[in-house]
Amino acid sequence: MSFDIATFFHNLWNLLCFDPAKPLVFNSGVFWCLFLIFLPIYGMLKNKRTKMMIFVIAFSLYFFYKSSGGFFLLLVATSILDWFFALQIKIETTKKMRRFWLWLSIAISVGILGLFKYANFVIWNINELMKSNFQPLDLIMPLGISFYTFKTISYVVDVYKGKIEPTENWLDYLFYLSFFPALAMGPIVRAEKFLPQLRDNKEPTKQMIYSGFWLVLLGVIKKAVFADYLAQYSDIAFGSADGYSGFELAMAMMGYTMQIYCDFSGYSDMAIGLGRIMGFDLGINFNFPYRSLNPTEFWKRWHITLSMWLMDYVYIPLGGNRKGKLRQYFNLMATMLIGGLWHGAAWNYIVWGGVHGVGLIVHKITKKPLDNYLPSDNKAVKFFSWLLAFIFIVITMTIFGAGDVGTSWTVIRKSFTEFDPAYFSFFVKARYTWCILLTIIFALHFVPVKIYERLTTWFVGCHWLVKLLIFVVVVQLVIQFSSAEVKPFIYNQF
Amino acid sequence: MKKSYKVLFTILAIALVGFFLFSQFDFPEKLGLKKGKFNETLFASDKEEVTNKDTVATQEKKPNKNEMDTTKKTILFIGDSMVECLFPRMSAYAKKNGHTFYAVVWYSATTEVYGTRTTVKEYIDKYHPDYILFSLGGNELFIRDIKENRQKYVDEIIRQFGDIPYIWIGPPNWKPDTGINDMIKSSVPEGCFYLSYTPDQHYDRKKDGAHPTAASSNQWMDRICKWIMTESAHRIRLEKPADGEKARPDDLVLLQPLGS
């Protein structure tokens, strides 16, 4: 291939310009090339707090621009407004005015989210109900709007409740809101956890940097090897549910359950890892969710920052469990429906939230009577609890991922009513690599945490050439498993 | 700058340079290793998208007068993931018309993947087909300098078909390509290429935006079979089965992107 300098710069320009179809995802080559430039500059500026902040904000806004174009200004505007509102809440002396600023801030944040995310859903439903023909709005959903809206709401509410002080300057707040590792898909890190780290601006330790790098590598493997590979079959089977047997659809349900875990927890690992490399602890977002023994435990292990957010800013303000059993069940259902709707403007997400609400309520109702009859430390009881919880999770994940309520019903119904194990050998023979990957990721879920911790410690301490070798192997694995295009993360659409 | 940052930077930089250099040689592919797409991404010229006008015009021509071969065939349907969309309906066609039917799906496959390996020949040797359906090109719709980069692979694939009658099914574009359809069309004899991207073909897509939905895949296969039976250079009996008719291939092989 001949080298032409003009072509090179033309292609480079195209790569770096706004393209909604090609967001700057962490498992893309473009991101890593940019990170290679980012890292030494960040390292040099780390001790000069203001310069470091300006540099990181600029990079974060570029990160936003790459997928959302001029909408990065929306993020800037949101940060200005909510920073100002939080200051007003602090300054005001009357409760009435403080409450006014709080609700104004929430109304604007939710309003913007509603416009971009739910306007077309509302129009679609009106058209269905009224047989009208309102045209959908031509909107691009800005990157991570669901995530940063929740961050900004929690910040203003926490200032209102006196849990945190508002930031002294706007840059601090913009840094928190736009911090690129957590911008697109969380974790929804709280201001009370993040801002003190920014104020202290401590040098990251060697442990932090390399354990972060290790997490990034794990995340890349989860996403680019496991999730994208498992997706090949799940997507096809969900897309043609009528053409597949019950057994094949049951396998697709299992596959999607593992795929979404690898996809989203993989992204979270990368985000948390990048945060650590930069010296920021973003907490954890997943804690082996498929080990859960019941729906309540599942929500303590799955998308932890979201479930904590929903608990603190929806469930508890609604009354939590303080106003009697019936009210608690209502609060649980309302919280899960909001959680479902947050994920996407479609009925399948609302149904998904509703089914989880039912699961949580049933668990709350049955927990005490069952605990009286069944010893909770008995291994058989634990196993059946796990099995029941896992089947429940697989079903709800199918509702989440099958596309629409009708398709998910077809998939679930056929999986139960047309399940024929005779397809097993045919399936395994035809899709042996897929089955192997599914088994591996399932088995890895039950490896003791200590093993992962030891591996991390070993990686942190190993020679840099070994780290290089591992990095090269991981990247080559990603290239080997890669499809023609880099697949977007499932949660990127939220 | 902190020492750990320097080390991390060194690791990333060495890896990047290494992968770039690695992508400049041919030997990795001979070892079954894929390469990074540095050249295609950075150095290939950005051609104007083409719209297959000439190819569409050829497909719209009235067919030649080839007679239909009404004997029962052993059909090998091989290609990329589009085969997965098409083979359920094609299985029904095979069942209805008494053909033996084998399907081989290679996910994420390209002309480069098939053209640098003898996979087609290996499955011909395994199943002894007397008719081949080949569906490939969907992963190369937007490759720059397509002829320069891919013509040799297309030629190699056709060489592996040998004397067996074949139909190459073009990709169902979701937007104009950079020349893959025209290139394949010009590489095969007349009546051996089915263009799936014409103004009168509209296929609903799955969530990935690329693969047709189940219903659209069935419509697509119906059109292909009708074209094969009435207009192609190698006409065989492909009477339409009932809608919703279910059948399975006599054997199905799924090859993964990593390799077989």
Our CA-based measurement puts residue B83 at a distance from the nearest CA of chain A, in whole angstroms, of 11
* pLDDT at residue A484 in the model: 44
CA dist., res. B210 & res. A488, Å (int): 13
Mean pLDDT is lowest, of A71-75, A322-326, B50-54, B91-95, for B50-54
Instruction: Please identify among residues 209-238 of chain B the ones whose CB lies closer than 8 Å to any CB of chain A.
Output: 211, 213-214, 217
* pLDDT at residue A485 in the model: 42
* pLDDT at residue B259 in the model: 38
Residues in chain A predicted with pLDDT less than 50, given as ranges, are 484-488
* pLDDT at residue A60 in the model: 96
Q: Between chains, do B9 and A1 touch, taking CB under 8 Å as contact?
A: no
Is residue B210 pLDDT above 90, yes or no?
no
Our CA-based measurement puts residue A363 at a distance from the nearest CA of chain B, in whole angstroms, of 34
Is residue B133 pLDDT above 80, yes or no?
yes
Our CA-based measurement puts residue A219 at a distance from the nearest CA of chain B, in whole angstroms, of 17
* pLDDT at residue B27 in the model: 78
Domain spanning B53-255: which CATH class is it, in words?
Answer: alpha beta
CA-nearest residue to B138 within chain A is A484
Closest by Cβ to B11, choosing from A10, A33, A464: A464
Contacts A279 to B, Cβ<8 Å: none
Q: Tens digits of per-residue pLDDT, A68-84?
A: 888 899 999 999 999 99
In this structure, what is the dihedral angle of CA atoms A84, A85, A89, A90, given to the nearest 10 degrees?
Answer: -20
Q: What is the pTM of this model?
A: 0.77
Contacts A232 to B, Cβ<8 Å: 81, 107
Our CA-based measurement puts residue B250 at a distance from the nearest CA of chain A, in whole angstroms, of 11
Contacts A29 to B, Cβ<8 Å: 36-37, 41
Closest by Cβ to A36, choosing from B13, B39, B213: B13
* pLDDT at residue A407 in the model: 86
Q: Tens digits of per-residue pLDDT, A242-292?
A: 767 889 899 999 999 999 999 999 999 999 999 999 999 999 999 999 999
Whether B121 and chain A come into contact, CB under 8 Å, resolves to no
In 10 A of CB B58, how many CB atoms? 16
CA-nearest residue to B6 within chain A is A40
Contacts B246 to A, Cβ<8 Å: 243
* pLDDT at residue B260 in the model: 32
Whether B14 and chain A come into contact, CB under 8 Å, resolves to yes
Higher pLDDT, B39 or B222: B222
Mean pLDDT within B135-148? 86
Pick the residue of B108, B113, B217 with the most A CBs within 10 A to test the interface with A by mutation: B108
The answer to whether residue A463 is catalytic is no
Instruction: Give chain A's mean pLDDT.
Output: 90
Pick the residue of A400, A411, A466, A479 with the most B CBs within 10 A to test the interface with B by mutation: A479
For A59, A154, A160, A306, the CA distances from A95, given in Å and listed in that order, are 39, 19, 10, 29
In this structure, what is the dihedral angle of CA atoms A183, A188, A190, A195, given to the nearest 10 degrees?
Answer: -20
Our CA-based measurement puts residue A351 at a distance from the nearest CA of chain B, in whole angstroms, of 19
The complex scores an ipTM of 0.85
Annotated catalytic residue, options A303, A343, A356, A363? A343
Closest by Cβ to A468, choosing from B14, B244, B254: B14
* pLDDT at residue B124 in the model: 94
